[in-house]
Amino acid sequence: MIIFTPFPVHKEDVPVSALRPYALRCDHRTTPLGIDEPAPLLSWRLASDLRGDDPTAYRLRVAERPEELADGGRPLWDSGRVEDASAIGAVYAGPALRARTRYHWRVEVWSAPDGAPAGAESWFETGMDVPSGPAGRTGGSAWRASWITHDPDPIDVMDAPTEGEHALDDHGLAPCPLLRRAFSGTAAADGVPDTAGSAGSPLVRARLYVSARGLYEVRLNGVRVGDAELAPGWTDYTRRVQYQTYDVTELVAPGENVLAATLADGWWSGFVGFEPRRAGAHYGAFPQLLAELHLTRADGTVSTVVTDDTWVTHTGAIRHADLLMGECHDLRRAVEGWELPGFDAGGWPPAQVVDADHRLLTASVDEPVRAMAEVPAVSVTRVGADTHVVDFGQNLAGRVRLRVDVLAPGARVVVRHAEVLDDKERLYTANLRTAAATDTLVGDGRRNVEFEPRFTYHGFRYAEISGLPELDAEDVAAVALHSDTAWSGSFDCSDPDIRRLHACVEWGQRSNFVSVPTDCPQRDERLGWLADAQVFLPAAALNADVAAFFTKWLRDVDDARTPDGGFPNVAPRLAGVADEGAPGWADAGVVVPWHLYRTYGDPRFLSRALDGMRAWVALVHRRNPDLVWRHRVGPHFSDWLAPGTPTPREAVATAYFAHSTRLTALAAEALGRHDVAAEHHGLAARIRSVFVERFVTVDGERGQVRLAGDTQTGYLLALAFGLLPEDLVDAAARRLAELVEEAGPALRTGFLGVALAAPVLDAHGRADLAHALLRRTEVPSWLFPLRHGATTIWERWDGWTPDGGFRAPAMNSFNHYALGSIGEWLYRGVAGVDQGADSVAYRRLYVRPRPGDLTHAGARYESARGTVAVRWRREGGSLSLRLRVPPGATADVLVPTTDPGSVRELGPAPGDGGHATLTGTGADHARYRVASGSYHFTAAFAPAAQPPAGLQEEDTP
């Protein structure tokens, strides 16, 4: 359970009295090891306990030695004092960075022109190659390693299978290769010498640079290197292959050392997606390893150990490992001590060299997948003589860790996974489609075995474990895997159902941010669908710091573009999976970079994407010169899984055409490309005119507006994307409200419409309806699944009902985040944590809680600028509102009240420094402009007898 703390204390800034930087980042990561960005972004957040204690200037220094950062030192780069009241980061602009080098950096910030600055320090380290800039890399590739593998075509002696002995379904998968290389930790000459020096000089630094076509796990002298799971992550391997960097200095010993790796198929050569004609081996046929270990000694000697034909290879206990099918460990095949010095590998054949192509290698730009939580068993139920069903109480993505006292040679334990149980309390697996999701352990008689797969993951809440007569709850746990995105937000309110809903949204995000933003973690799909990501991103970016995660994924999106400028439906691209981008799906290539820029303030999200944005808009325009998007629509999913009357496809498409064109204009404007901006603003205006002409009907006498199809989603798109003339907006908003009320009140929206429902109703004065939707418990609603045991968001509103049972198993995930986009409004609407429409990186906050019938709510968010927190509570006839505004930001605060004259600010008097100024009142609020700092407002708040009044134009965020 998340405990709400409105004003968190940061260990980096205890105690805080005046302005100081904290949470230093390099390219949105803390102390990244091995980057290849020639001009990284160095950023920081700000904290202060004082009101109006805002930055006025900053200074950055970068050096190879930390002592050079001090005053009087000679850093590699010194920005000098830069007068900038809004800065929370700057791009490195010094001399070219050297590869494989650690750099230390210091930021100082001033709040008073003549005062002393406050500072903080951090570091980053460059990787194998550092490009000199857009033109390419300096001096060619520095890599010397080759891609190596186990013999991909072994000829085995075949015996007839024996039932119970070899009758395990391996799905045609091969055993996981083991590769090892012994080297001396004392003599530099044992590796490939890079520089001259004394072989006896002590080791001062060791770095391992490693990648795989497939998945890898590396050990040095038997100790696992790093904690990355499913590394190196999923990319389109025909376009880009990531590598990781590890500091292994403490693992290298004098004398003999062993570098050892286990490989698995992963996304490279395993099963991926649901295309029956191309179920697996999308990129290659067998996994391969590439690694370089660089050993640096005190006298400057550098030697390397690289993957080449001096490595030897074998297979071991892991007989197959696949992301969809599962993993099988046969302990009878285990090779004891193979990863340790002293092991006799004389009978192992040499590894085969595949090639030495380094052109596609890039350093990882995001944090890897890690084991992020352990979830204990809630219950263990015996369902057979040696079979038990384990309930972990939480649907998640990960694997089961199991302890087995003893397992006879050849006996096996089988672990099957499922999200839900059927009406007989057994696993329901029909919705997994072809994903076997089954892990197997075959015993060899040893005792106290801990079984935990290493190269697979499953989406599950329940596990059926067979082969054990007894099973205790303490012997089994679920291990949650997801990309390590630092959690940045928390939400709390008085309604336990809504708190549980928020937890479901969070767990859906954790379960589906696994290297890429997947649609679901359980069935034979797990693809990076663009629409799911773009509608959920606003909620995701409030829950967690996803800047680095989406930096990586936007490269996948760019890699998947077609030669004529088309964005895909899934990224990384997978052959045969809805190749041509659909409206609302492909538009994520425009929508996602814009939202990331507004959230994190990093203009590179736009500069890297602008060419692709323009090409996409140009492609749609070229194919649809009349500006109604009806050609080049791909599979045209429209408002996917919307119940009721479908929204006309051409209306959905044309709305997104206008939206993407406008966002492209805004992106160009933000980058100073005013000619491009003007061109796209003009095109967007023409598309809007055509949209009204083609899809809008006006009855002036009755004051009515009707959109084609007369569906909720049609009105939501038109209002959210600003497609209607001002004189039609109110009538369209009224019709939207009528449709919602007539339905229950309830939604009749799918993936595209649901994200807009609460924000649009709220923006047009119907927060009461947004609250009614939030509290609804019948189908369709967010709370219906929770009342029936859901711990994550379902793919369908009615994935299961008491009357109808399970919906079509071909498309029925119980862990799908798209409908969880309501999480955004919990922060922005219910709690009131928002930013103005023209604000970037939360420089101008917009705080307007919508209490509804809740008695308290609050949210905390670690923005790119610093901590934003809002907490409100109403008791009796009064309301208390507390907030924190980070340094360098201001906030427009609309205090909810039934008597605007009753509002009081309990801090310093409004005239004391001008930090809290009343700027206006409305029927249901008083509006203040406040500077940075902490504030406490009180106001009269009697229960409303009718829906709250609509916002005035000047109060719209």
pLDDT digits (tens, 9 = 90+) for 896-940: 999 999 999 987 644 444 578 999 999 999 999 999 999 999 999
Burial class (CB in 10 A: 0-12, 13-18, 19+), 778: exposed
Q: What is the pLDDT of residues 551-574, one digit of tens each?
A: 999 999 999 999 999 999 999 998
Distance CA 356, CA 462 (A): 44
Q: What is the pLDDT of residues 496-506, one digit of tens each?
A: 999 999 999 99
- What b/e sequence results for 604-638 when a residue is b if at least 16 CB atoms lie within 10 Å of its CB, and e otherwise? bbbeebbebbbbbbbbbbeebeebbbeebbbebbb
Distance CA 955, CA 957 (A): 6
Mean pLDDT calculated for residue range 770-797: 97
Asked if the peptide bond before residue 635 counts as cis, ω within 30 degrees of 0, the response is: no
pTM: 0.94
Distance CA 592, CA 535 (A): 9
DSSP 507-543: HHHHHHEESEE-S-SSSS----BHHHHHHHHHHHHHH
Distance CA 331, CA 349 (A): 22
Q: What is the pLDDT of residues 110-169, one digit of tens each?
A: 998 778 999 999 999 999 988 764 434 443 478 999 999 998 776 555 566 565 544 467
Q: What is the pLDDT of residues 851-880, one digit of tens each?
A: 999 999 999 999 999 999 999 999 999 999
Distance CA 559, CA 568 (A): 10
pLDDT of 87 > 50? The answer is: yes
Annotation marks residue 327 as catalytic: no
Q: What confidence score (pLDDT) does residue 944 get?
A: 52
Determine what percent of the chain is predicted with pLDDT higher than 70.
92
pLDDT of 10 > 60? The answer is: no
Q: What confidence score (pLDDT) does residue 41 get?
A: 98
pLDDT of 610 > 80? The answer is: yes
The DSSP code for 556 is: H
Mean pLDDT calculated for residue range 467-489: 97
User: 17: how many CB neighbours lie within 10 A of its CB?
Assistant: 11
- Residue 696's pLDDT band (boundaries 50, 70, 90)? very high
Which candidate in 108, 125, 525, 862 is catalytic? 525
Which candidate in 37, 367, 419, 795 is catalytic? 795
Q: What confidence score (pLDDT) does residue 576 get?
A: 72
- Residue 400's pLDDT band (boundaries 50, 70, 90)? very high
Q: What confidence score (pLDDT) does residue 112 get?
A: 80
Determine what percent of the chain is predicted with pLDDT higher than 90.
87
- Residue 2's pLDDT band (boundaries 50, 70, 90)? very low
Annotation marks residue 525 as catalytic: yes
pLDDT of 196 > 70? The answer is: no
Q: Which runs of consecutive H residues, i.e. helices, occur in 214-327?
A: 266-269
Contact 516, 555 (CB under 8 A): no
Mean pLDDT calculated for residue range 528-549: 98
Q: What is the pLDDT of residues 244-303, one digit of tens each?
A: 999 999 999 999 999 999 999 999 999 999 888 888 999 999 999 999 999 999 999 999
Q: How far apart are the first and last CA of the chain?
A: 31
pLDDT of 194 > 60? The answer is: no
* Sign of the torsion formed by the C-alpha atoms of 201, 206, 211 and 214: positive
User: 934: how many CB neighbours lie within 10 A of its CB?
Assistant: 17
Mean pLDDT calculated for residue range 166-175: 78
Among the listed ranges 10-19, 224-233, 429-438, which one has the minimum average pLDDT value?
10-19
Mean pLDDT calculated for residue range 614-619: 98
